[in-house]
Amino acid sequence: MIERLEIANLHTPTDKDIEKYARKKVGGLDRFVSRGIRDSLHVEVKLKDSNTKDKKHSLCEVILRLPHETITSSESALNMYAAIDIVETKLKYQLRKYKDLHTNPKFHRRVFARFHKD
């Protein structure tokens, strides 16, 4: 679970169920980051509800601060739960790319060499 996780509600009253859901979903993203980086991972979640004359929609924005990069993802949906789910999926793909870029290539060679021996 991510230790430094901040949730901010903008223009909405605080709802404990939504905050708990966001902590569960976004807090589980540490599985997609290498163990050495987990301590320095910092996450900000911004939740916002907007009401216009015609529509009501919710916006979820997540900012991940990693050692070499900052990853941002935002999504607007009809309800907050759907927006959090979509942002989580987007961040999974971005974290996989980050991990592939910033891992040690020698490690991959050792793993592949072990499988090719058999």
Domains along the chain?
A: 4-116 (3.30.160.100)
Model confidence at 8, pLDDT cuts 50, 70, 90, reads: very high
For residue 16, pLDDT over 80 is answered with: yes
Model confidence at 114, pLDDT cuts 50, 70, 90, reads: confident
SS3 for 77? strand
Instruction: Check if the beta carbon of residue 43 is closer than 8 Å to that of residue 61.
Output: no
Q: Please report the pLDDT score of residue 51 as a whole number.
A: 81
71 CB burial (10 A radius; 0-12, 13-18, 19+): middle
Instruction: Check if the beta carbon of residue 67 is closer than 8 Å to that of residue 79.
Output: no
Model confidence at 52, pLDDT cuts 50, 70, 90, reads: confident
Neighbours of 34 (CB within 10 A): 13
